[in-house]
Structure 1
Amino acid sequence: MKELQDIVRAYDVAQQQGKQTALATVVHVAGSSYRRPGARMLVTEDGQLTGAISGGCLEGDALRKARLAMLQQKPLLVTYDTTDEDDATLGVGLGCNGIIQVLLEPLDTADAANPISFLKAFLGQRQAAVLVTLFSLERRTAAQPGTCLFIPESGEVKGACTDEELQKALLGDAEEVLLKQESLTKAYAATVGTLTGFVELLQPAVSLVVFGAGNDAVPLTQLASILGWQVTVVDGRANYARRERFPAAQRVLVAKPEEALAQLVPDQQTVCLLMTHNYNYDLAMLRQLLPLKLPYVGSLGPRKKLERMLRELKEEGAQVPEQALESVYGPTGLDIGAETPEEIALSIVAEIKAVLARKSGTFLRSKPGTIHPRAAQQVAAAREHTKYSGCSLSSL
């Protein structure tokens, strides 16, 4: 999310300075790569880069190809094959073992349907959306349609395909992506031949609500801000909940427990932390948060504290469904041996990220298989296509 925010800001600056720009997007990966489909980088004509499409090994060449795309004013699909161990440029030296397709799109400021306008529309509202990017793996040197459709969860579809049947199929798949909350890559029959569509799910930024404005909340808000999360700090103490103490937060509210939620608009990307160090305040907030079925509610402090709060809520007759309890984490945070406020913040943010990504938070070296799911035959198919097209890094 932060990457998209940075790209949009950099685009606006470049536009004000009259610079040409291009957007590089990883649209397809077969095998291993540092970044996955959806990674983006903005390139200006004078070589400024915002975002990343790799760990730094592809950016230099992508810059040169982006300048070519700007010069020709047409999208360009570039293939990076890091599976060839005999290739001194792209083989063993990169430490990867995959084939990465990067689409380079020159950005026309006069075009209301350019990719940045879609990203701005997405960032301007807190709802999921789908972004559709079309490209041809079969005819890589042919004209590439590029980013063509933006479908918000609720609202007007932006952009269009010249092929009506293709657009109908894409809109249908966009609905499925929104329903399953998972991007897909699919081959489509079109009037110009077979096209590959990257039907990408865009999720709004995580909204982190921290109940508690103590000193230990400061590094937590700073770390969350680095990730691009939208941070709100709430506390009943006016001398603690002050803007100058939390410059990284979007909002700092002084509110009693019964007043707090009226000033918030929780959604399925909202996570909450109870860390006021005031038992009654935390209890009052937990009473209100449980019915909301948020994906994550963290309780700072010992397990006995959380157990006591839940017991009191049940004794007073509050309905505490098991589904809601599954989203309550106390003590909050991963077990990384955290001691200082900064370490505790790291532990908490890492746990929230793992929960939202539906991951266990274990050591990657203990994970069987690959980090990201993939099919071995996709690597072979992509490699054969690369050989057939006669293209390599040096020939583009």
Structure 2
Amino acid sequence: MKELQDILKTFEQIKHSRSAIATVVKTSGSVYRRPGARMLITESGQMVGAISGGCLESDIVERSQPLILHNGEPILVEYDTTASNDLVWGLGMGCNGTVQVLIESLHCGSAQNQLEFIAECFRYHQPGVVATVFDIKGEVAASIASRLYLHSDGTVKSEIGDRQLAAYLQHDAYGVLTEGKTKVVSYSLDHGSVDVLIEVIRPPVPLLVFGAGYDAVPIVQLAKQLGWHVTVIDRRPAYATRDRFPDADEIIVCHPEELSTKLNLNPQMVAVVLTHNYLSDQMLLQTLLPSPVRYLGLLGAKPRSQQLLEDLRKEGFIPSKNQLQRLYAPVGLDIGAETAAEIALSVVAEIQAVLAQREGNHLRFRQGSIHGETEPCLTLV
């Protein structure tokens, strides 16, 4: 997320200069990055973002120069690290996969449009889908790097000339938006075939931090390093200050009972409660547990959390099973955290694991791909 934000920021700064964008559009086997990874290349050779662990970037920069200097047509480059005699790209690292990378001049309207669409998704905190054509065989009324865009409200914008292909892309884009999972699709058409990356664009994770004490500071800092949108909420104006939280996107001073008038809670949000005040935590739980937030972390020992819930039940507030499943108390992964910085790492790592639907276990115990599957699928039309 932060990487893509850096690309958008750099593009805005150099919009009138020559540059190119490289996008991983298809992979197989063991690779470092997955489809959707991007890297911006300036005329001077500056790189923002990455499309590998460092072994492919220099070649991408070299291949991008003709596009940057002469506004060349988009090109598709394939790197195969599966060959036993691969001495260039493998670099003895033991990679065993293939990567296809689409390189485009950012003087091209379609290349600019994709970045502007992503920036819009981020700005309005709404997901979207970009479908990018990256390989064509036969006679198809489409071009490499032509795209279809789907907004969260269902609005569609298409650069695809082939109406049949555009219709199928629109259908599949709705599916990707619903599932929240990027796909690489091969379409077999009447007069040829087309490979398309259908990519879900997720806006920055909206994190609500309730409590502006010293232990909230590293949580905000770490979340911002990941590119999340962070809001700090506290009832104490002396604590909830811009000097204390210079990286926070928003700072709200309010009491727990005023929360509903200050925030519109939605299913994209995640929340962490660390007020260190029992009554404040109790009131926040009454508001946040029935809300649609997809993660709720509560700082404090397990007996304290259990007592909070028990006291709420005595007052007639009985959380449902689904509500309690979204409550993580005590908050954080078990990494032996003691200091505020270590606790912040534990908390942010747990949120990331929950959002990715992972257990937060050791990777050496994981069966299958580290990244999860983004396998190509075949659609016959």
Same fold (TM over 0.5): yes
Could you tell me which of 22, 42, 52 is aligned with 1:44? 42
Alignment RMSD (CA, Å): 2.0
1:305 and 1:270 mapped to 2: Cα distance?
24
1:6 aligns to 2:9 (yes or no): no
The aligned amino acid for 2:122 is L
Q: Residue 192 of structure 1: CA displacement?
A: 6.3
Q: State the partner residue of 1:103.
A: 102
The aligned amino acid for 2:8 is V
Q: State the partner residue of 1:69.
A: 67
2:247 and 2:190 mapped to 1: Cα distance?
50
The aligned amino acid for 2:52 is S
Q: Residue 114 of structure 1: CA displacement?
A: 2.6
The aligned amino acid for 1:40 is R
Change (3 A) 1:178 1:350: same
Q: State the partner residue of 1:136.
A: 135
Q: Residue 318 of structure 1: CA displacement?
A: 1.9
Change (3 A) 1:111 1:185: closer
What SS class does the counterpart of residue 119 from structure 1 fall into?
helix
**Is residue 82–residue 95 contact of structure 2 (8 Å, CA) maintained in 1?**
yes
The aligned amino acid for 2:330 is P
Q: State the partner residue of 2:365.
A: 366
2:114 and 2:271 mapped to 1: Cα distance?
33
The aligned amino acid for 1:42 is L
Q: Which moved more, 1:301-310 or 1:339-348?
A: 301-310
**Is residue 80–residue 98 contact of structure 2 (8 Å, CA) maintained in 1?**
yes
Greater share of helix residues, 1 or 2? 1
The aligned amino acid for 1:65 is R
Q: Unpaired segments of 5 or more residues in structure 1?
A: 379-396
**Is residue 149–residue 161 contact of structure 1 (8 Å, CA) maintained in 2?**
yes
* Correspondence list, 1:280-295, <5 A: 280-295=279-294
Change (3 A) 1:236 1:375: closer
Q: Unpaired segments of 5 or more residues in structure 2?
A: 377-381
1:219 and 1:103 mapped to 2: Cα distance?
38
Q: Residue 315 of structure 1: CA displacement?
A: 1.9
Cα displacement string for residues 289-315 of structure 1 (whole angstroms, at most 9, x for unaligned residues): 111132110010101111111112222
* Correspondence list, 1:249-288, <5 A: 249-288=248-287
Q: Which moved more, 1:275-284 or 1:262-271?
A: 262-271
**Is residue 57–residue 94 contact of structure 1 (8 Å, CA) maintained in 2?**
no
Normalization by structure 1: what TM-score? 0.89
Q: State the partner residue of 1:59.
A: 57
Q: Residue 156 of structure 1: CA displacement?
A: 2.7
Change (3 A) 1:191 1:106: farther
Q: Residue 92 of structure 1: CA displacement?
A: 4.8
Q: Residue 349 of structure 1: CA displacement?
A: 0.3
1:156 and 1:236 mapped to 2: Cα distance?
40
Q: Residue 191 of structure 1: CA displacement?
A: 6.8
1:375 and 1:258 mapped to 2: Cα distance?
44
Normalization by structure 2: what TM-score? 0.92
* Correspondence list, 1:227-376, <5 A: 227-373=226-372
Change (3 A) 1:113 1:10: closer
Cα displacement string for residues 245-270 of structure 1 (whole angstroms, at most 9, x for unaligned residues): 00110111110001123222322221
**Sequence identity (%):** 44
**Is residue 23–residue 102 contact of structure 2 (8 Å, CA) maintained in 1?**
yes
The aligned amino acid for 2:26 is H
**Is residue 23–residue 43 contact of structure 1 (8 Å, CA) maintained in 2?**
yes
1:334 and 1:44 mapped to 2: Cα distance?
40
1:335 and 1:86 mapped to 2: Cα distance?
43
- State the number of aligned residues: 372
Change (3 A) 1:88 1:137: farther
Where in structure 1 do 4 or more consecutive aligned residues deviate above 6 Å? Answer: none
Q: State the partner residue of 2:169.
A: 170
Q: Residue 244 of structure 1: CA displacement?
A: 0.4
The aligned amino acid for 2:58 is G
**Is residue 205–residue 269 contact of structure 1 (8 Å, CA) maintained in 2?**
no
2:246 and 2:55 mapped to 1: Cα distance?
35
**Is residue 209–residue 271 contact of structure 1 (8 Å, CA) maintained in 2?**
yes
Q: State the partner residue of 1:88.
A: 87
1:238 and 1:113 mapped to 2: Cα distance?
43
2:231 and 2:286 mapped to 1: Cα distance?
19
